[in-house]
Structure 1
Amino acid sequence: MKRALDISRHRLVSSSSSSSLQLIPRCDNSLKPILNPLYNLLPQTQNPNQIVDVICSTLKQRDFVLSNLRDEVKSLIPHLGDREISRVLLRFQSDASRALAFFTWVKFDLGKRPNVGNYCLLLHILAWSKKFPLAMQFLCELIELQSKEEEDVFSVLVSATDECNWDPVVFDILVKGYLKLGLVEDGFSAFRKVIDSGFRVSVVTCNHLLNGLLKLDLMEDCWQVYHAMSRVGIHPNTHTFNILTNVFCKDSNFHEVNDFLEKMEEEGFEPDLVTYNTLVSSYCRRGRLKEAFYLYKIMYRRSVVPDLVTYTSLIKGLCRDGRVREAHQTFHKMVDRGIAPDCISYNTLIYAYCKDGMMEQSKRLLHEMLGNSVVPDRFTCKVIVEGFVREGRLLAAVSFVVELRRLKVAIPFEVCEFLIESLCREGKPFAAKHLLERISEEEGHEVAKPETYNNLIESLSRCDAIEEALVLKEKLTSANQVLDVKTYQALICCLCRIGRYREAESMMKEMLDFEVKPDSLICGALVNGYCKGLDLAKAESLLSFFAMEFRILDIESYNLVVKAICEKGSGYKKVLEFQERMQRVGFVPNSLSCMYMIQSLNQ
């Protein structure tokens, strides 16, 4: 350990010319600042030269109370700086409880922020006293402080070893602290400094570091950690090799896996179930099923019994490769060997069958799940319903949902909404409405979102089922829900199509009251409706209104009015007057407008 310290100090000294690092000053008398000698004429509790002695004297009292400490040194508090805090901590390096009490008093009672050097001294004191959880707590505070002050915690920790008792475990705690805060790359940097300076970290800390680097896909850094462990004699354990197996798999070094497994055995570790599962899963994800099944056979030869994870990986790999029947055979083999399938293994097969359009097999598997007391999740229901819809079997999908609800299987309403929307899209709004009513009745309350009602209203309107659509529309508006423009569009077009123009116009006014802007389709529907009813004045009024209020210059609607005037036999003069009025609001006739006008001349 002495050699490790010498190495670290040599590194610190050699880098001092290019670094702004401030080391903790030694607390000997030679570094003591020269103060005004007249201070010695003051009482001890008022003498700035005596602040450390006064604080330590108070803390040493058997029944000391921190609240009294402020009163004792009230006039000296302005003279309590970082150096004085360090001197007090050093006096109590063998009494961690008093050192900690003083540090806490400085932080909270005085509101002073200790510097990095003060924290490092406290860390050494706590680590020396085996108070490791407290050391980790204050280290995390220190790391956050260091991020603001940009000081190197490791270097300050090393320099502080000149001042106090210390335990090398503090450097292990340092690496762990960075990892605990999720600062994996900073933890890796600290690890390199610790190892390069001759200190050691535990294999547990190395494993945490490897895991963090693996999650960040920093494969090269993982290998650097492993090689550093080998170089300084930190013996890996099975967990280390399992993490490195993951690194191999992510790093695509499949051709080196056998060499690595041999290396693992040389180190005295047999690949365990986790090792094999990692490899099998990775081979399957990359489509290397031959190698995956080879490892599966090797597991039995080495007395490592495959578990649910192993079989699920193989089943997924086969399904992904389009070999669904082989996947189902592997599934049966798993069951025959006494391994109970879970929801994930069932879902894997169900998804594969649905993808191939084999819906009956999917349903049988779901019933098998229920028979084995495996509860289907939202994915199970969703994938089967979507499979039926994709195959164009909407009514079968509805029957499936109703059947599951009868069996008391909870179906996420998002699945029901998807089915309702699909029925509406296919022009089956009454089936959609019946399904929604049935689900709401079973739940005892309304479950659908406004978007679902909007879709249902649109679909009913397209089928001219206006009364049912209006009932749903009232249900929405009474719940203070605003219809969207597409829903208003569908309702207004439907009302105009069946000759209820006045109601359609009232609907448009309601729409404007809710600040929903109309579009050209609504304009065309209303104008066309009044033209059919031969109320041309109203049609022209609406045309002008849409043009002036919303800049909707729908030429098709304009031509409808021109045609209606011509067919009414009002004469060429009436058409010209209409054209002149419309030009003032922005309409420009096109070739169809001219054709209608020419036809009116021949009448």
Structure 2
Amino acid sequence: MANFSSATNREALIAQSICGAILKGSWKNILKRKIDSGLLKSAITTQVISELSLFSGYGGASLSWSFFSWTDSFPSCKHNLQSSWQMVLILTKHKHFKTAHHLLDKLSKREPLSSPLLLSSLINGVSEDPEILSHVLSWLMIVHAKSGTINDSIEVFEQIRSFGLKPHLQACSVLLNSLVKQRLTDTVWKMFKKMVTLGVVANVHLYNVLVHACSKSGDTEKAEKLLSEMEEKGLFPDLFTYNTLISVYCKKGMHYEALSVQDRMERSGVLPDVVTYNSLIHGFCREGRMREATRLFREIKGVVNVNGVTYSTLIDGYCRVNDVDEALRLREVMESRGFVPGVVTYNSILRKLCEDGRIRESNRLLSEMSGKRIEPDNVTCNTLINAYCKVGDMVSAVKVKKKMVDSGLRMDVYTYKALIHGFCKVLELENAKEEMFLMVEKGLSPGYSSYSWLVDGFYNQNKQEEIGKFVEEFERRGLCPDVALYRGLIRRVCKLGHVDYARVLCDSMEKKGLVGDSVIYTSLAYAYWRIGKVVEASALFDVMYNRRLMVNLKLYRSISGSYAGDNEVLRFFWSHVGDRCLISKSILRDMNKSEVL
């Protein structure tokens, strides 16, 4: 204990002598010798930094920062977390915010500052003004939120709460905005509630973040309540608030409400801009209400300067209502006004031309894009691949696929599904399987439709046994056949009426240790039921009951939709399922209301 005390006293004396040398000036040469001799330990530098900040007549914090920066330039004297944290606090206390923020940013990349244990040790090790700690921790929240490490930002916020501090309003806004961008709207409301309990008073900017959260989740009712709450608190909604609310209503097809917000906006003295009108036009175009969209477009020409988005939205609208010729005419008008159509505009026209089977014109449009150096994106390539697959031109589809990959674009679910469908359509099943294997290897799920096309292809070629071999090929390639694979195959085989083979697939699945789900057993049960094999269907119900597998509303509607012509059979089947307690009462009520019954 005595040794520890004498060591501490010795370090204090060294720190005092260093401070004295620094205050006298010409200190760097003197201290260089101490560094070379290894006397300048981290505990001493931390003490020197703290003591120098007290000499306001000599520059205080600036003197501390000079010493900190100079010593940090020596490899043998790199600052530890404690001394760096102390420097951040000193700079913040003396309002050198820019330097403090820069140092904290560097520190957060080097150390796990969001760790509760680490933060606690740092905060408990200093006796600082709560406002200074709040500022530093609030900035740390911002650093993590802006760098995308949202969980770390939340962790720092929780530490602020645990120390009884109040985060700064800007930090709260930045964190909530990051959560909104990630579509974590439930977390937004939980965090906001905690912020309010800490005494955070929302301003217009924070309310805008909350309204944006409502936009992401499509919650018009909550957005409207927030607007009323702002007005009650004497906060004036700005252009962003109104535009976001209008956008929410337009996305939901609530045009009257959107126009009411516009009216409310103008009465409050906030003038609509091109974003406002683009949202309203987009809402009409999505609903195919081109007359209203065009009328609004004409009305605003003298009010605001329309932009490329306005024209692109109208072009997409005309394509939606099957008027591609008007869309092409409007594109020419757009270009004559000095706006350059982007890939989104071309994709809208391309999609409609392909839907109409106008492949030659689509290719001309693609050449035009190339001439204007407009790079195709995934939507462009998928649209063309799908169009070629629909007409069975797999050579052209594969060429587009190759160009897509060569240009650095990644094939997605839609690309693979289009190719699988196309190859199945022309009965090139080996190629279809290859695309499916590649799809699974990329971690993408083929889904029921892809498996259905493949099963249909095997049956069209009278190659039923290939379905079982297809599962075995999964294993040979090092892929694990899962329940989703068997679900897709069994459902389709049942729909084609080959229930005995579907049962073989089910048994094969169970031998591999996989457990079937409600979809598999209900599909099998109904396939048996509709051919009069009630005993076999009942045995499957027993399995479902023992495994606590229930028919949910989605499955009920799916089976009923797939066998829409089997009215009487379905009625008796669902009644029996209900008697076996394999379906909820809410679904039974839905059944009683349905036309099937």
Instruction: Identify whether the pair has TM-score above 0.5, normalized to the shorter chain.
Output: yes
Which residue of 165, 190, 198 corresponds with 2:156? 190
C-alpha distance in structure 1 between counterparts of 2:367 and 2:285, whole Å: 29
Percent same amino acid among aligned pairs?
27
SS in 2 for 1:306: coil
Aligned positions of 1:406-417 closer than 5 A? 412=375
Q: Is 1:61 equivalent to 2:9 in the alignment?
A: no
C-alpha distance in structure 2 between counterparts of 1:196 and 1:417, whole Å: 51
| Residue matched to 1:109 | 74
| Residue matched to 1:235 | 201
C-alpha distance in structure 2 between counterparts of 1:216 and 1:421, whole Å: 31
Contact residue 213 and residue 221 of structure 1 kept, 8 A: yes
Contact residue 54 and residue 73 of structure 1 kept, 8 A: no
Give the Å deviation of 1:266: 1.7
Give the Å deviation of 1:243: 0.9
C-alpha distance in structure 2 between counterparts of 1:248 and 1:421, whole Å: 35
| Residue matched to 2:315 | 350
C-alpha distance in structure 2 between counterparts of 1:326 and 1:300, whole Å: 20
Q: Is 1:246 equivalent to 2:218 in the alignment?
A: no
Distance 1:163 1:34, change over 3 A: farther
Aligned length: 393
Aligned positions of 1:515-526 closer than 5 A? none
Which residue of 43, 48, 68 corresponds with 1:88? 48
AA in 1 matched with 2:109: E
| Residue matched to 2:64 | 99
C-alpha distance in structure 2 between counterparts of 1:426 and 1:119, whole Å: 67
AA in 2 matched with 1:33: F
Contact residue 350 and residue 380 of structure 1 kept, 8 A: yes
C-alpha distance in structure 1 between counterparts of 2:255 and 2:6, whole Å: 80
Distance 1:124 1:281, change over 3 A: same
Which residue of 14, 28, 44 corresponds with 1:51? 14
Contact residue 141 and residue 156 of structure 2 kept, 8 A: yes
Aligned positions of 1:552-591 closer than 5 A? none
Which deviations, in whole Å up to 9, do the C-alpha atoms of 1:80-138 show, x marking residues without a partner? 44432322222212322332233334433043443332222111211122111111122
C-alpha distance in structure 1 between counterparts of 2:304 and 2:346, whole Å: 24
Distance 1:60 1:218, change over 3 A: same
C-alpha distance in structure 2 between counterparts of 1:306 and 1:314, whole Å: 11
SS in 1 for 2:111: helix
Contact residue 220 and residue 245 of structure 2 kept, 8 A: no
AA in 1 matched with 2:242: Y
Which residue of 111, 121, 125 corresponds with 2:86? 121
C-alpha distance in structure 2 between counterparts of 1:152 and 1:240, whole Å: 30
Contact residue 82 and residue 115 of structure 1 kept, 8 A: yes
AA in 2 matched with 1:147: P
| Residue matched to 1:201 | 167
Which deviations, in whole Å up to 9, do the C-alpha atoms of 1:126-174 show, x marking residues without a partner? 1122111111122223333431895645434533443799845334333
SS in 2 for 1:33: helix
| Residue matched to 2:36 | 74
Contact residue 55 and residue 73 of structure 1 kept, 8 A: no
AA in 2 matched with 1:141: K
Which residue of 251, 256, 265 corresponds with 2:231? 265
| Residue matched to 1:283 | 249
Distance 1:80 1:383, change over 3 A: same
| Residue matched to 1:315 | 281
AA in 1 matched with 2:62: S
| Residue matched to 1:144 | 109
Distance 1:290 1:451, change over 3 A: same
C-alpha distance in structure 1 between counterparts of 2:248 and 2:382, whole Å: 37
Give the Å deviation of 1:180: 4.1
AA in 1 matched with 2:184: L
Contact residue 120 and residue 160 of structure 1 kept, 8 A: no
C-alpha distance in structure 2 between counterparts of 1:338 and 1:87, whole Å: 65
Give the Å deviation of 1:369: 0.8
C-alpha distance in structure 2 between counterparts of 1:361 and 1:382, whole Å: 15
C-alpha distance in structure 2 between counterparts of 1:154 and 1:217, whole Å: 28
AA in 2 matched with 1:245: V
C-alpha distance in structure 2 between counterparts of 1:273 and 1:290, whole Å: 19
Which residue of 180, 189, 211 corresponds with 1:214? 180
Which residue of 309, 331, 356 corresponds with 1:391? 356
Give the Å deviation of 1:218: 3.4
| Residue matched to 2:445 | none
Contact residue 138 and residue 171 of structure 2 kept, 8 A: yes
Contact residue 359 and residue 388 of structure 1 kept, 8 A: yes
SS in 1 for 2:264: helix
Distance 1:282 1:162, change over 3 A: same
Distance 1:70 1:299, change over 3 A: same
- Say which is worse superposed, 280-289 or 238-247, in terms of deviation: 280-289
SS in 2 for 1:147: coil
| Residue matched to 2:295 | 329
Contact residue 114 and residue 152 of structure 2 kept, 8 A: no
TM-score (norm 2): 0.56
Give the Å deviation of 1:207: 1.5
Distance 1:82 1:347, change over 3 A: same
Query: Which structure 2 segments of 5+ residues have no match?
Result: 55-59, 404-597
C-alpha distance in structure 2 between counterparts of 1:313 and 1:260, whole Å: 20
Distance 1:294 1:32, change over 3 A: farther
TM-score (norm 1): 0.55
Give the Å deviation of 1:211: 0.9
C-alpha distance in structure 1 between counterparts of 2:389 and 2:260, whole Å: 51
C-alpha distance in structure 2 between counterparts of 1:165 and 1:148, whole Å: 18
C-alpha distance in structure 2 between counterparts of 1:231 and 1:393, whole Å: 61
Distance 1:423 1:260, change over 3 A: closer
Give the Å deviation of 1:334: 2.7
C-alpha distance in structure 1 between counterparts of 2:267 and 2:112, whole Å: 53
C-alpha distance in structure 1 between counterparts of 2:354 and 2:389, whole Å: 12
